[in-house]
Amino acid sequence: MAVVRKILSLAGDGIGPEVMAATRKVMDWVQSTGHVKFEVTEGLIGGASYDVHKVPLTDATIAQAKTSDAVLLACIGGPQYDTLAYELRPERGLLRLRKEMGLFANLRPAIVMEALATASSLKAELVRNLDIMIVRELIGGVYFGEPRGIEDLPGIGRRGFNTQVYSTPEIIRVARAAFELARKRGKKLCSVDKANVLESSVVWRDEVTKLHKAEYSDIDLSHMYVDNCAMQLVRNPKQFDVIVTDNLFGDILSDLASMMTGSLGMLPSASLGAADANGRQAALYEPVHGSAPDIAGKGIANPLAMITSFNMMLRYSFSMGAEADLIDKAMQNVLSAGVRTADIVEPGQKPVGTLEMADAVVAELKRLAK
């Protein structure tokens, strides 16, 4: 009997429906192996939800997300929504979903596949075999801190303000997730902050240090200021194993790290909450890239970050590591064979479209599984 896994699929905006459709092909293949049955419900988020419901996320969709085993999300946003009131913008839907699901730990692995070492904007020798994991705090800090707002300053103009804030429990839970990951990997953790300027970072650094001493002294812990980290990531990325950092710094550093892997179209992510009494963990999987309105609808977007996000779902939510390994292998082989979407194409190669890339991965999966 196949186990049933309930997935909420949120394709969102821009290239979202295209990369989601590509990923469904890989999902179908996994299902065809007979061990699992995916019960997929489709929902709306971002501009797609606004167009229908006049809000970027409905309570009903949040409720569905909470009762699913995992949520698979593509991307949100588009220029047609840029002039909407702040609360109605697509980004608000995504941020609310993360918050309501309690997804405090955002895992963003930057892994350079051998075939793509030369596609990176950094020198191949700097990124070859790179495998770093950025753990970004996802539901705190300046993204959510109060007070926030925009107020009129009569006669002067306006004042926009936000609050960067972190408390002990918020720091400890994400640091713990990062230490645990480091323990399963290279046993090295770098905590990134701005403790030379920000009080929130002073507390961050103290709490991470205390937790290290109390429970994780087997891990090699270092601290780095975020400006230095940005520089070090470009100078010598392989010095890092796991990085843990706050919401805003993690947003920025993960886009930076993505270019090492060849393209923003290669970076997946997993966002995880705390485990409940039954060991069930709220989880959402989404690529790091945005909705790429410039290429939306053209069928040329790279679906690999989306497929890899699904792969993380297999690994982290469904304990299907063997299938995930096989999908990773299939993607590597396809890339090595020179099958490339436009963003990672190299001289002499002809780019393939979104669905063709997925078809190539599925064909390779069938070959490998024989």
Is 255 annotated in the active site? yes
User: Which one from 69, 193, 194, 216 is the annotated catalytic residue?
Assistant: 194
Would you state the structure tokens that stand for residue 32, as one six-digit string? 């065809």
Instruction: CB nearer to ligand IPM: give 95 or 116.
Output: 95
**Smallest distance, Å, CB 264 to Mg ion?**
9
Tell me which residues in 86-105 interact with ligand IPM (CB under 6 A): 91, 94-95
Of 28, 218, 227, 325, catalytic: 227
Binding partner of 328, given Mg ion, ligand IPM, none, CB within 5-8 angstroms per partner class: none
Query: From the list 215, 251, 356, 359, which residue makes contact with ligand IPM (rule: CB under 6 A)?
Result: 251
Query: What residue is closest to Mg ion based on CB?
Result: 251
Give the torsion through C-alpha atoms of 169, 175, 181, 187, to 10 deg: -140
The least CB distance from residue 289 to Mg ion, in Å, is 9
Our answer to whether residue 143 is catalytic in this structure is: yes
- Minimum CB distance to Mg ion smaller for 215 or for 251: 251
54 is catalytic: no
Specify which residues 149 forms β-bridges with: 161
Q: Is the dihedral of CA 217, 219, 222, 227 positive or negative?
A: negative
- Does residue 251 have an active-site annotation? yes
DSSP 237: G
As a whole number of angstroms, the distance between CA 222 and CA 218 comes to 13
Angle of helix 247-258 relative to helix 226-235, nearest 10 degrees, comes to 10
Is 328 an annotated catalytic residue?
A: no
In the list ligand IPM, Mg ion, none, the entry touching 91 (Cβ below 5 to 8 angstroms by class) is ligand IPM
Q: Which residues bind Mg ion (CB under 5 A)?
A: 251
- Cα angle: 301, vertex 310, 229; to 5 degrees: 75
User: At which residue do the structure tokens 């650094």 appear?
Assistant: 205
Q: Which is nearer to ligand IPM, 91 or 356 (CB)?
A: 91
Exposure string over 8-24, b if 16+ CB within 10 A, otherwise e: bbbbbbbbbbbbbbbbb
Spell out a b/e string for 231-258, using b for 16 or more CB atoms within 10 Å of the CB, else e.
eebeeebeebbbbbbbbbbbbebbeebb
Say whether 348 sits in a helix, a strand or coil: coil
- Interaction between residue 180 and ligand IPM (CB under 6 A): no
Give 251 or 356: the residue with its C-beta nearer to Mg ion: 251
13, 50, 81, 143: the catalytic one is: 143
Minimum CB distance to ligand IPM smaller for 95 or for 242: 95
Residues marked active site are found at 143, 194, 227, 251, 255
Binding residues for ligand IPM (CB under 6 A): 91, 94-95, 251, 288
